[in-house]
A = this chain, B = another copy of it.
Amino acid sequence: MHTIPLKLLTIIGESVLEDRLVRFLRDHGARGYTAYDVRGEGSRGVRSAHPDERNVKITTVVSPQVADAILEALAREYFPFYAVIAYVEEVHVVRGEKYI
């Protein structure tokens, strides 16, 4: 089956950031996204002061260039201010042309 290698970018942050992060992804070139609620604790090893606080996991399939642009902007605009986690994986996508 013909697939195209692309990047699956995952961002995890507080639920209140969802709309803003979705706009942010679009502004940097993402053409779609998936979001769902998660619970958890960050890598700082301490429970949040608000343990009931919901987090959101947002994933988007993008080109390597768009992934890089998003990570650069996240590092500049979000990481100094919010407990946001981001990582990138290699995926092989059917009809991947749609994402470029």
Contact = CB atoms under 8 A, between A and B. Distances in A.
Interface of A: 1, 3, 6, 8, 10, 12, 31-45, 55, 57, 61, 68, 71-72, 74-75, 79, 85-95, 98-99
Contact of A88 (B3, B33, B55, B79): B3
B32 A68 contact: no
Contacts of A1: 68, 71-72, 75
A94 B89 CA distance: 12
B33 A36 contact: no
A18 to B, nearest CB: 9
Contact of A94 (B35, B57, B74, B91): B74
Given A32-B43, A38-B35, A57-B36, A94 B98 contact: no
A37 B34 CA distance: 10
A75 to B, nearest CB: 6
